[in-house]
Structure 1
Amino acid sequence: MTMSFDTLGFHERAVRTESHESVEGMRDLLVETLEEAGADPVVDEAGNTLATRTGEGYEAGDVAKTSSDEGDHLVLNTHIDTVPPHVPFAEREGGEVVEGRGACDAKGPLAALVDAFLSAGVRGGNRLTLAITPDEETVQTGAAHLAGTLDADGFVVGEPTGLDVCNAARGQYEGTVTVTGIAAHAAAPESGANAVRAMAPILQAMETYDERGAQSASDGASGDSREPRARGPDEHESLGRPTLTPTVIDGGEVSNQVPEECVLTFDRRPVPPETPEEFESGLAAHLSEWVPSGMDLDVSLSPRETPFLAAFATDPDDPLVEALAAASGGEVRPFGAATEASYFAEHAPTVVFGPGDLADDEGAVAHSEREYVRREEVQAAARAVRDAVDGLL
């Protein structure tokens, strides 16, 4: 099944449609577009827009269900929400470049995936599903729901990768370190336990948390500088080492009182195989050695409606990675940000792919006021996904 789809026309309409506060207008545009093409999209209880097709045509009803004897099932996924504020649609370089909120994150990838969904070849009982989520930029409830209900053999997640095929990404979670001491008059500081002062060694200890395994590997490495340094247990072969970054610190009530409590907020970017639970307990054990006597320490990950975005890595030799890399001509590399692909990678091989870039030589692109994408990249991404699906399904 093939059809003519105005990829760039849809992309322009999408960028012109505000979706930073509500996705209703963008979802209506997507559903209308799919219906006009003959598909039978549904919006599920989590707000995801889904459509599916086989070699026999479009399917109606519950697109989430498939069984192993029905052939291979590939899912094309991205999101329709954008970060605030809205940036109006504009063109430059004679129309070769589209600017505006969502131009590359992720309405460029969306246009490419819709094109591939409508035009790629699907044989026999193989299945191709388009699954578009509503809240990737916030709490990811749509993707979390899909990960628990959508049975698939592979996922292509649309994000701006510059047409490279990203088979891995760090995760992202947040949390707090709370030190509790004893309040006292600042004129007699020795009568209390200063929680703000106690945070100083905690900050230093956080910087050494990921050096534990790396140091042991360094100690065992050859002294010959021509040989690569052995990786430590916390270092991933393509993603490198995780990061742990203090981001906010809050403590004290008034200037003449020894502060009883100090709270540090942190950002964690893990690499496989770390899990949030392992990190939380490991950091607590590490920092507990640095808490002054008479003070209490609490390390807690922030509450979430959905699971944290864990790190993932798909084998670069997986057929999905190889097919898309061959079709796009892009490099196989890690993605530069955490993504909903994390949820899907727990169940099947997953890659991140799309037109546009997170950043260029001038600075940030996605999420910035200068967000843009080249129209030829949107078309190239559509061709690459279409060709990869043709080969796989």
Structure 2
Amino acid sequence: MNKVYAVDKAELLELVQGMIRIPSYTGNEEKLVDFLEKYMKKQGFDEVKIDEMGNLMGTIHGNHAGPSLLFDGHLDTVEIGNPSDWQLDPFAGEIRNGRLYGRGTSDMKGALGAMVYAAGCIDREKLRGSVTVSGTVDEEVAEGISLMGVLATIHPDLVVIGESTGLRVNTGQRGRAEISLKTMGKRAHSASPQIGINAVKKMMLLLKSMEAYVPNRHPVLGEAILELTDIISSPYPGASVVPELCEVTFDRRLLPGETQEQVLAQIEELLSHHKDEVKYELSIRPNDVLTWTGRELGGVRFAPAWNYDKEEPWKEAACSLLSKDGLLEGLGTYDFCTNGSASAGAKNIPTLGYGPGNEVQAHTVDEYIDVENLYRGAKGYLLLMQHLGKEWKR
């Protein structure tokens, strides 16, 4: 058997199960980073480094000139919720009926483990260029920000995002912005509301006007979205107090080309006739989340959209390699936001998504990944790592 196809299923499962058994909620990825750092060094990666954000990067250098490829997966997971809702231990990594269960199996320790494993199997004598695998932090709360940190160190010619695709090649996604809208009032005793200004009532006026929002549409990615996701008043609880502040958050799903300025201007236009009667502030939320190293992510929560629906040499080469070996289940786009917002959306680096997980399993109770797809995904990654540098006619 050609070395590139010699994927040891038992070894791969041992690695991914080890990852599942290490809880790595957002901001608490340190133990998983340590685990994978040791594995990379044991497997002979040429360079293994951790940046100030806490992102892990491992690189294999080939013996021939060629492109730099980056394979990225995030280290963090969402929390499990109520443990009693799970039929199986979310951190045991149990296998039943061909499925590996646990938090992060599909989103996305399975894919990241498959990438790390595959890179360790590369034949340097036949590799053109270099391959880096990055484990990025805090993706679940701020897509793309940590990968931007990786891209400041690694300068790839192509990026593969391992988010779940069911072994399709995905070449686009809507972006995401978190928008904050605040109304300011005047505190008073609720027995004398006439001497105060109720910030919640002022917010109700603005929300009514925002119902007139008309989404733009993209021929491939569909409609933009503006969805109210939370609302809170201050003080809270507000016993006997007229609230002086109300803040709401909108999840705005973005289309290619939309900028921060355009998104805010569109909302301002809906609210403009309230300027004389409502004091409000509109902004994109800051990334004030701390990574496990204690560093603040920085920037704002604005992850651009991206889409490669036209023919591209790198896309054709990747799909040709995967399809020849039965490792491609079709083409598509993501319904959700990924770190591709950094590589493709912000930096315009050729980017594709390819992952063994099932996107409907993300964040669910009793999350799982099909073991056979995990195995096929590792083979697909190894195939791309080993041969894309040769097949891609740049």
TM over 0.5: yes
1:296-332 deviations in Å (ceiling 9; x for gaps): 2211111113443222223452233334434132222
- Encode CA deviations 1:199-253: one digit per residue, 9 max, x unaligned: 23321332322x1xx6xxxxxxxxxxxxxxxxxxx21122111111112223365
1:109 is displaced (CA, Å) by 0.4
Give 1:4 deviation, angstroms.
5.8
Report the Cα offset of residue 353 of structure 1.
1.7
Q: Does the alignment pair 1:383 with 2:365?
A: no
Query: What SS does the aligned partner of 1:200 have?
Result: helix
SS of residue matched to 2:338: coil
Unaligned runs of 5+ in 2: 81-88, 288-296, 390-394
CA distances 1:322-378 after superposition (whole Å, capped 9, x unpaired): 34434132222221221112111124111122112121xxxxx22222110011001
After the TM superposition, which residues 261-340 of structure 1 pair with which residues of structure 2 at under 5 Å, given as runs?
261-291=245-275, 293-304=276-287, 305-307=297-299, 308=301, 309-326=303-320, 327=322, 328-340=327-339
Give me the TM-score of the superposition, normalised by structure 1.
Answer: 0.79
| Match for residue 53 of structure 1 among 60, 67, 78 | 60
| CA deviation vs aligned residue, 1:240-276 (integer Å, no higher than 9, x gap) | 1111111222336556665443322222111111122
Query: Which amino acid letter does the alignment assign opposite residue 147 of structure 1?
Result: L
For residue 349 of structure 2, what is the aligned residue in structure 1? 348
1:161 to 162, 165, 172: 165
Deviation for aligned residue 1:24: 3.0
- Structural RMSD (CA): 2.8
Q: Which residue of 2 aligns with 1:224?
A: none
For the 8 Å contact 2:108–2:357, the answer to whether it is kept is no
- Match 2:232 to one of 232, 250, 253: 250
Could you tell me which runs of 5 or more consecutive residues in structure 1 were left unpaired when the two chains were aligned: 58-69, 215-233, 360-364
Cα distance, 1:287 vs. partner? 1.5
* Matched position secondary structure for 2:135: strand
Q: Does 1:80 align with 2:75?
A: yes
The DSSP-based 3-state class of the residue aligned with 1:9 is helix
2:366 is equivalent to residue 370 of structure 1: yes
- Of all paired residues, the percent bearing the same amino acid is 30
Which residue type is aligned with residue 71 of structure 1?
A: G
Could you tell me how far apart the structure 2 residues matched to 1:275 and 1:348 are? 18
Q: Which string of whole-angstrom CA distances, capped at 9 and with x for unpartnered residues, describes residues 88-139 of structure 1?
A: 2243544x11101111111110122123323346656522222222332345
Which position in structure 2 is the counterpart of 1:65? none
* Pair 1:99 & 2:98 matched: no
Question: What is the TM-score normalised by the length of structure 2?
Answer: 0.79
Cα–Cα, structure 1 residues 323 and 118, in superposed 2: closer, same or farther, change >3 Å? farther
Would you say 1:26 and 2:29 are equivalent positions?
A: no
**Secondary structure of 2:152's aligned partner:** helix
Q: Is the 8 A contact 2:119 2:133 kept in 1?
A: yes
CA shift for structure 1 position 45: 2.4
Aligned residues: 352
Cα 1:142/1:195, change in 2 over 3 Å: closer
Question: How many angstroms apart in 2 are the aligned matches of 1:150 and 1:188?
Answer: 61
CA separation of 1:392 and 1:262: change in aligned 2, threshold 3 A:
same
Give the 3 Å change call, closer, same or farther, for CA 205–332 of structure 1 in structure 2: farther
Q: Is 2:110 aligned against 1:108?
A: yes
Deviations 1:12-41 (A, max 9, x none): 222222323632332232222222222234
Residues in 2 aligned to 1:38 and 1:261: alpha-carbon distance in whole angstroms? 56
Q: How big is each residue's C-alpha offset from its partner over 1:40-81, in whole Å with a ceiling of 9 and x where there is no partner?
A: 342232322222233329xxxxxxxxxxxx531111111222
2:46 is aligned to 40
